[in-house]
């Protein structure tokens, strides 16, 4: 990847989008959704979460979805794990990327995974050891996510220094990527610059990813600010799925299609075919209802005479 | 205004929001809407358009709305004019700001006002003369808007140099503000930087305003890019009114409430009370239907523990 021209956009909808939706999406539909996005050029997809199925029945098929997604050629399969036990399930399948998440907000971490933040951070060390003991070093990448890094429903603003210190801990412990998340959609571009600059100063050559929610409309503005800081990995979800706490149509994660349009329009290459990506909306729409999906590009369509970044690059050579 | 801390946000909904809506909003409702926003702290509102009422019956009450809005203390009343004839109607009332608009896209200008772009540009000179002849110099401010400056449905991308040259012409002719508009919502943050830097290099000390549409979700990202360039005047509309070409809920202008939230969150002061602004949505909603209004903040509410920019500034002193 060339940081001047290439951006990695990752689909979170099957995990972050579905985790709060009680309607069970059939396993075959999940796989069709993954396949449709892979066919559109999405190369990295978080396909499920290894949480106890009793807590989130939506992920009762975590093993099957993961195994079958891993059979799809060209796809990097990512799964979320909330703790060592979840990680062990992922390691048993040899998942390509294990995404461990801890909340920077102590209160949020307690509410979310019922343990102290420091206990979760220490857990990551054990996850690294377990990965290495399973002989997966160099095969299973360990990503570490900082949830509520840009604000928390319980604690409000989070001190930048807390984010920086958690990032440093995880990098030191062996994380191969740091993901900084605005879990509740509180962030603004100025804050994004402050937080990402602090994290990037701490993490050196380690890739840093941004995970924004569009709860208050600032999602793509925050992406633009993170791009300015040099971030080139972004999480999103098809149709902005993930906003079921609010009214239908309220977006959760930033909308994948709108993100890809903005990046492409800026001349950054995602490798994703916008028309195919838009067509993929039909799959979750069929199971969750079209009103569950938001997205400006889906309503308005591409600009007339639109040339993709690749077409424009070709035209100037 | 201090450019480090203050931003002027202007309501366009009564003009840009209503111009394509066939449902006539009663004059009293328009005035109640203006009053509610003024009460929320909005200091500059485009209240109507002096187009021929035969073309747009929504503005049959242009004179009455303007006259009565001008009686409201503390409000700067702006009206759009497409040509000299419209400007003369505005001058007859001594309107505070007359907003003349020309399309940078030649095709769009022909379709929109049925004349060559150069004829429209020349018209602006006559508008300046007419204003001065009416003894309104120093009383009626002349703003000049560049429509389709960031893309056109007919022509696609617009050359930056065309925008720059139009801006230079209008500045030379006596414009007291240049407004750069993404009329059809094609812009991305990279393009915004290029276009605004080119215009700002041309206009010197003249204020430059940004008028973005959120048709493809990039509105606030474009605001953030324009802020980086030093722009401190932004047009928006309550509930993003103006998107009636598309499905209900598709936004036209950037959403006023979301814009004010983002700016405030970044520590920039708009002088606008977010709760009062949100409450003002009830007025257009009553006449146009709640589904006509979009907006993320209206759905999600303010973050918990949210402190306004003013409160945060006070807390640190």
Helix, strand or coil for residue B3? coil
Residue B221 distance to chain A (closest CA, Å): 4
Residue A146 pLDDT: 97
Say if residue A155's pLDDT is above 80.
Answer: yes
Q: pTM value?
A: 0.95
- Other CB atoms within 10 Å distance of the CB of residue A3: 10
Say whether pLDDT at B247 is over 70: no
The CA dihedral of B293, B294, B299, B301, to the nearest 10 degrees, is: -90
Asked if residue B43 has pLDDT above 70, the reply is yes
Contacts A184 to B, Cβ<8 Å: 303
Q: CB–CB of B50/B15 below 8 Å?
A: no
Q: What is the rounded average pLDDT of the residues A264-281? A: 97
Integer Cα distance of A300 and A314 in angstroms: 26
> For residue range B264-300, what is the model confidence (pLDDT) as tens digits?
999 999 999 999 999 999 999 999 999 889 999 999 9
Burial class (CB in 10 A: 0-12, 13-18, 19+), B227: buried
Residue A101 three-state SS: strand
CA dist A263 and A254 (Å) reads 13
Chain B neighbors of A261, CB-CB under 8 A: 216-218
pLDDT at site B249: 45
**Measured between beta carbons, which residues in chain A are less than 8 angstroms from residue B266?**
188-191
The pLDDT assigned to A243 comes to 60
**Neighbouring C-beta atoms of residue B57, cutoff 10 Å:** 11
- Distance of residue A79 Cα from the nearest chain B Cα, in angstroms: 28
| Interval B47-73 mean pLDDT | 96
Inter-chain CB proximity A216 and B297 less than 8 Å? yes
CA–CA dist B208, B188 (Å, integer): 18
Q: What is the pLDDT of residue A20?
A: 87
- How would residue B22 be classed by pLDDT, with cut points 50, 70 and 90? confident
Percentage helix, strand, coil, to 5, in chain B? 45, 15, 35
Over residues B172-215, the pLDDT tens digits come to 999 999 999 999 999 999 999 999 999 999 999 999 999 999 99
Could you give the 3-state DSSP secondary structure of residue A77?
A: strand
Provide the pLDDT for residue B233: 98
Is A196 buried (19+), middle (13-18) or exposed (0-12) by CB count in 10 A?
A: buried
**In which band, very low, low, confident or very high, does the pLDDT at A248 lie, cut at 50, 70 and 90?**
very low
Q: How far is the C-alpha of B130 from the C-alpha of A215, rounded, in Å? A: 48
- DSSP per position, B57-96: GGGTTHHHHHHHHHTSTTPEEEEEESSHHHHHHHHHHT-S
The yes-or-no verdict on residue B310 having pLDDT over 60 is: yes
User: What does the pLDDT average to over B107-134?
Assistant: 95
Q: Please state whether beta strands B233-236 and B177-182 pair in parallel, antiparallel, or not at all (unpaired).
A: unpaired
Task: Say which of B157, B215, B221 has its CB closest to residue A262.
Answer: B221
Dist CA A103 CA A118 (whole Å): 10
* Architecture per CATH, A8-315: Alpha-Beta Barrel (3.20)
Q: ipTM value of the model?
A: 0.94
Query: What would the pLDDT profile of A45-81 be if each residue is shown by its tens digit?
Result: 999 999 999 999 999 999 999 999 999 999 999 999 9
Where would I find the beta strands (DSSP E) of chain B? 8-11, 44-49, 76-81, 97-103, 141-147, 177-182, 208-212, 233-236
Using a 10 angstrom Cβ sphere, with 0-12 exposed, 13-18 middle and 19 or more buried, the burial of residue A38 is buried
**Percent above pLDDT 70 for chain B:** 97
| B151, B157, B218 ranked by CB distance to A262: nearest | B218
Residue pLDDT, tens place only, A89-105: 999 999 999 999 999 99
> Tokens 């493809």 map to which residue?
B216
Interval A101-150: pLDDT, tens: 999 999 999 998 899 999 999 999 999 999 999 999 999 999 999 999 99
Task: Give, rounded to a whole angstrom, the gap between the first and last alpha carbons of chain B.
Answer: 20
Given pLDDT bands bounded at 50, 70 and 90, which one contains residue A310?
confident
Is the model's pLDDT at B244 over the cut of 70? no
Model pLDDT, residue B113: 87
| Residue of B226, B230, B191, B200 lying closest to B211 (CA atoms) | B226
Catalytic residues of B: 244
What would the pLDDT profile of A178-203 be if each residue is shown by its tens digit? 999 999 999 999 999 999 999 999 99
CA gap A170, A176 in Å, rounded: 9
């Amino acid at each position: 990847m060339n940081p001047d021209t290439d951006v990695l956009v990752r689909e979170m909808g099957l995990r972050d989008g579905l985790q709060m939706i009680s309607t069970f999406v059939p396993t075959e539909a999940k796989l069709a959704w993954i396949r449709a996005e892979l066919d559109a050029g999405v190369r990295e997809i978080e396909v499920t979460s290894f949480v106890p199925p009793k807590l989130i029945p939506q992920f009762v098929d975590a093993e099957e979805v993961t195994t079958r997604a891993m059979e799809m050629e060209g796809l990097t399969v990512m799964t979320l794990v909330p703790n060592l036990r979840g990680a062990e399930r992922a390691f048993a399948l040899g998942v390509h990327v294990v995404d461990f998440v801890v909340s920077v907000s102590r209160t949020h971490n307690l509410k979310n995974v019922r343990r102290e933040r420091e206990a979760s951070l220490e857990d990551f060390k054990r996850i690294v050891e377990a990965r290495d003991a399973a002989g997966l070093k160099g095969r299973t990448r360990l990503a570490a996510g900082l949830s509520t890094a840009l604000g928390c429903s319980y604690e409000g603003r989070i001190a930048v220094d807390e984010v920086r210190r958690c990032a440093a801990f995880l990098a030191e412990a062996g994380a191969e990527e740091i993901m900084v998340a605005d879990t509740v959609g509180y962030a603004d571009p100025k804050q994004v610059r402050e937080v990402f600059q602090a994290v990037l100063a701490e993490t050196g050559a380690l890739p840093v990813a941004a995970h924004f929610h569009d709860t208050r409309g600032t999602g793509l503005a925050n992406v633009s600010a993170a791009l300015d800081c040099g971030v080139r990995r972004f999480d999103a979800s098809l149709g902005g799925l993930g906003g079921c706490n609010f009214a239908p149509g309220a977006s959760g994660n930033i909308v994948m299609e709108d993100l890809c349009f903005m990046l492409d329009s800026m001349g950054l290459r995602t490798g994703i075919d916008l028309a195919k990506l838009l067509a993929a909306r039909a799959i979750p729409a069929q199971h969750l209802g079209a009103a569950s999906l938001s997205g400006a590009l889906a309503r308005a369509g591409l600009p007339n005479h639109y040339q993709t970044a690749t077409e424009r690059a070709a035209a100037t050579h």
